[in-house]
């Protein structure tokens, strides 16, 4: 198992690369920049030489569909996304797509064009093509599980800002993309300040892709792996040194922490509410108890409905937000943002044109209210925000009334 430096006498060899031999397979790791025409040409050159019998790329199925199938978004089942609680993940993917679109307009090249070229060239030559990156949704979920509630809130705010802001991409972010990785660059500021997020976005993926390369090599003896240059050193190191069997490493890096069967937060909030109402009725009589109940319903329901109203929600969506907001803290299935967004998607069903225009519309403030898909997302976030403010405000008013 040896790592060699290759001579820089051919086009693709002038790009960052490493060669690792392991278990009778020679892996050529070609480090690319996701916004570089030179990287696209290097990929064409490497595959055209004909020296490889398999090609691996830093993509998962979802990202491959995004760059090769422009109609994939239009086939999305938005109601299913809402019901399965994947709305934040959908928003994160949309923010990533918006970021990529701004890059394409600014630099004149689609981000990830070299990865797309690798897949297309390999398939054109009949070479086995392997997607070795971890599912992007799984990467986000593993990252979120390591973050505290405040860090999650900051990341969520950053995603929303990234969806709305249409500024040019900063020069230092472009330089990071030239060095390497789309996910890191997209969330660069937060990733730099949060080791847990950096580990999930970069370090874990180096180890994962090394295991996937070993797992998928099959009968191949010369494998070309096209990856962001930022992964080159880590991927080579793990590919050379890791002793664990790929079939054991991959499930470990795909596993999510099981959700607690005992919903401690919901139990605490439920105990506070029921105890507060009971105390109010017992110690102050019907008037005090009724006042506490009214405070809670009006503050949570009113602010949840206000968030939905600001999002341009349908009257039925606003009613759904008001009715579900008082119960939201008691159980995730009753989340007001999900309830109002589901009603919005049902009453004002997004059209094919809405999905196709989504990436453009989210780059302008007016587009968020004009596009029905974007408005459903806006409904989800603003209703959830209004309810959250209502929970804290209503709880504080209840405490003040109880101890008055």
Residue 1 confidence class, pLDDT cut points 50, 70, 90 = very low
Measure the CA–CA gap between 295 and 310, rounded to whole angstroms.
22
The first and second tokens of residue 77, run together, are 């089942």
C-alpha separations of 270 from 203, 221, 310, 328, 348 in Å:
40, 61, 29, 10, 34
The string of pLDDT tens digits covering residues 91-126 is 777 776 666 666 666 666 677 788 899 999 999 999
Residue 151 confidence class, pLDDT cut points 50, 70, 90 = low
Other CB atoms within a 10 A radius of the CB of residue 13 amount to 16
The confidence score (pLDDT) of residue 80 equals 83
CA contacts within 13 A on the Cβ side of 60: 13
138 pLDDT above the threshold of 80? yes
Instruction: Kindly state the average pLDDT of the residues 367-385.
Output: 89
Q: Which residue has the tokens 């307009």?
A: 105
332: helix, coil or strand?
helix
pTM of the model: 0.71
Other CB atoms within a 10 A radius of the CB of residue 234 amount to 18
The confidence score (pLDDT) of residue 211 equals 95
65 pLDDT above the threshold of 50? yes
Q: What share of the chain is helix, strand, coil (3-state, %, to 5)?
A: 70, 5, 25
Instruction: Kindly state the average pLDDT of the residues 201-223.
Output: 90
Residues 379 and 303: beta-carbon distance below 8 Å = no
The confidence score (pLDDT) of residue 403 equals 67
223: helix, coil or strand?
strand
The residue among 372, 384, 382, 341 whose CA lies nearest residue 81 is 341
Instruction: Kindly state the average pLDDT of the residues 286-291.
Output: 70
Assign residue 126 a region (left: φ > 0; alpha: ψ between -120 and 50; beta: otherwise). left
The confidence score (pLDDT) of residue 3 equals 43
Measure the CA–CA gap between 375 and 345, rounded to whole angstroms.
9
19 pLDDT above the threshold of 80? yes
The confidence score (pLDDT) of residue 367 equals 84
The residue among 36, 38, 50 whose CA lies nearest residue 107 is 36
Helix axes 37-48 and 113-124, enclosed angle (nearest 10):
20
The string of pLDDT tens digits covering residues 238-265 is 999 998 899 999 999 998 877 655 556 6
Residue 195 confidence class, pLDDT cut points 50, 70, 90 = low
Higher pLDDT, 357 or 325: 325
């Amino acid at each position: 198992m040896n790592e060699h430096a290759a001579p820089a006498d051919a086009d693709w060899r002038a790009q960052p690369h490493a060669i690792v031999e392991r278990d009778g397979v020679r892996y050529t790791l070609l480090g690319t920049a996701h916004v570089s025409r030179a990287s696209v040409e290097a990929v064409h050159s490497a595959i055209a030489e004909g020296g490889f019998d398999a090609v691996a790329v830093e993509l998962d199925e979802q990202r491959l569909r995004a760059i090769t199938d422009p109609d994939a978004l239009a086939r999305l089942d938005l109601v299913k996304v809402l019901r399965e609680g994947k709305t934040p993940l959908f928003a994160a993917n949309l923010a990533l797509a918006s970021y990529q679109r701004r890059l394409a307009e600014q630099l004149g090249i689609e981000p990830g064009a070299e990865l797309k070229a690798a897949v297309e060239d390999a398939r054109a030559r009949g070479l086995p093509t392997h997607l070795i990156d971890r599912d992007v949704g799984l990467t986000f979920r593993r990252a979120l599980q390591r973050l505290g509630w405040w860090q999650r809130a900051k990341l969520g705010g950053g995603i929303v800002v990234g969806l709305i802001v249409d500024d040019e991409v900063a020069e230092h972010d472009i330089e990071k993309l030239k060095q390497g990785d789309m996910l890191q660059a997209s969330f660069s500021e937060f990733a730099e300040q949060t080791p847990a997020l950096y580990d999930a976005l970069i370090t874990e993926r180096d180890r994962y892709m090394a295991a996937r390369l070993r797992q998928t090599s099959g009968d191949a003896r010369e494998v070309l792996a096209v990856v962001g240059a930022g992964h080159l050193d880590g991927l080579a190191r793990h590919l050379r040194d890791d002793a664990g069997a790929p079939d054991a490493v991959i499930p470990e890096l795909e596993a999510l922490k099981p959700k607690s069967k005992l919903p401690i937060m919901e139990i605490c909030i439920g105990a506070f509410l029921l105890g507060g109402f009971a105390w109010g009725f017992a110690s102050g009589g019907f008037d005090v108890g009724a006042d506490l109940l009214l405070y809670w319903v009006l503050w949570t329901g009113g602010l949840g409905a206000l968030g939905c109203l600001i999002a341009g929600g349908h009257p039925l969506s606003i009613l759904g937000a008001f009715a579900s907001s008082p119960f939201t803290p008691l159980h995730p299935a009753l989340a007001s943002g999900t309830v109002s967004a589901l009603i919005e998607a049902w009453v004002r069903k997004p059209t094919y044109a809405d999905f196709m225009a989504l990436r453009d519309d989210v780059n302008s403030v007016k587009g968020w209210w004009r596009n029905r898909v974007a408005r459903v997302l806006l409904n989800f976030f603003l209703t959830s925000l209004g309810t959250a403010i209502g929970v804290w405000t209503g709880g504080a008013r209840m405490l003040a009334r109880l101890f008055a």
